[in-house]
Amino acid sequence: MKFYRCELHTHTVSSDGKMTPEELVDRATECGYSAIALTDHNTVAGVKRAVDAGKKRGLTVIPGIEWTTFYGHLTVTGGGSDVLWRDITPDNIDEKIARAQSLGDVVTIAHPLRMGFPLCSGCHCVYDRAKLAGADCYEIWSHYYPNEGVVAQKQLAEWLSFLDKGCRMAAVYGYDWHNRDDVPPSYACTYVGAESADGKDVLAAIKKGATYVSVGVEADCAAIVNGREYPIGSELPAGETRIRLTCTKSEDYRSDKPAELTRFAVVTERGREEMPIRFGKTAEIITTFDKYCVVEIYGERKREEQLLAVTSAFYRGGAR
């Protein structure tokens, strides 16, 4: 399994983006992504052109759509359920999510706590959270300066509260890419641990929760139980758990690289434990938990300590 750089939330001129599907694919290729998902607002009009352009450029383009409603936005990727958004209501959103999943799609709660009206109608998610509990992913970070500021902190906390309730939701980042951004402001990347960069493999890996979000850090993270190693997203057997982590600086991340790492934390339903870590050095935390365990990586960037990466969970206790 290898971790691929992916961008799962993008727009084109088919909705309110500034790039044509071909320009988006060209730009994503230049930026070094292995896969992107096209998620225009309530339309798949650009998907075929983007997929065709991707085939020419060797870039995986996953068909998708952003269900854009007055109550919140969800990206739906895989391409099986493009018309379900038409009659979404706060009452049936849970059924719509389940229906999309039954058609093979991955459903992501997009930028749930971003500022809404009057800046962006429907961007702030007001759906009953219990009705979103079946979603596959949660955008803990989105758009520019994704790991900085209070929205990121609140989204991380809300995602953890879903895990605490027994939900199995992968952490993803959504650039919500609309413009060409030749000199992009600070952004992050979703790394997906898949068998290949093929669309099916990437979607399957996201469903399993083999993801982490990062600003300039590549993380090799595994859980070790009874001498056996498990990747991010795994259901772990009972027993003492060692979380092992080695990080390198991402070479292809282009702005505001972290200077050095400072510490990493293992966060479980029981609390958090921390350990110092540096680039290129392996560190371990021994932990016990019954539900979930996620890893946060901190370092120096822009001359302050920032949260630079968050993994999806390792789980115990069976699927929801």
Q: Report the interface residues with Zn ion, using CB under 5 A.
A: 66, 73, 110, 176
In this complex, which beta carbon is closest to Zn ion, that of residue 176 or of residue 218?
176
Min dist CB 206 to Zn ion, Å, is 17
In this complex, which beta carbon is closest to Zn ion, that of residue 42 or of residue 262?
42
Strands 228-231 and 211-214: unpaired
Q: Residue type for 55, please?
A: K
Chain length of the chain: 320
Min dist CB 190 to Zn ion, Å, is 14
In this complex, which beta carbon is closest to Zn ion, that of residue 108 or of residue 241?
108
In this complex, which beta carbon is closest to Zn ion, that of residue 15 or of residue 101?
15
In this complex, which beta carbon is closest to Zn ion, that of residue 70 or of residue 240?
70
Helix, strand, coil share of the chain (percent; to 5):
20, 40, 40
Give alpha helix (H) positions in 136-259.
150-164, 199-208
Residue number closest to Zn ion, CB atom:
73
In this complex, which beta carbon is closest to Zn ion, that of residue 7 or of residue 218?
7
Min dist CB 27 to Zn ion, Å, is 16
Min dist CB 110 to Zn ion, Å, is 5
Strands 35-38 and 2-10: parallel
CB 219 within 8 A of CB 207: no
Q: Which of 273, 245, 276, 271 is nearest to 260 (CA)?
A: 276
| Count of Cβ atoms closer than 10 Å to residue 195 Cβ | 13
Min dist CB 143 to Zn ion, Å, is 9
In this complex, which beta carbon is closest to Zn ion, that of residue 10 or of residue 311?
10
Structure tokens at 159: 């995602």
Min dist CB 116 to Zn ion, Å, is 10
Cβ within 8 Å of residue 241, ≥6 positions away: 223, 224, 225, 286, 287, 288, 289, 293, 314
Min dist CB 157 to Zn ion, Å, is 20
Min dist CB 153 to Zn ion, Å, is 20
The string of DSSP letters for 96-108 reads: HHHHHHHTT-EEE
In this complex, which beta carbon is closest to Zn ion, that of residue 80 or of residue 122?
122
Distances (CA, A) of 106 to 109, 206, 238, 275, 284: 10, 8, 29, 34, 32
CA distance 11 to 39: 6
Cβ within 8 Å of residue 99, ≥6 positions away: 81, 84
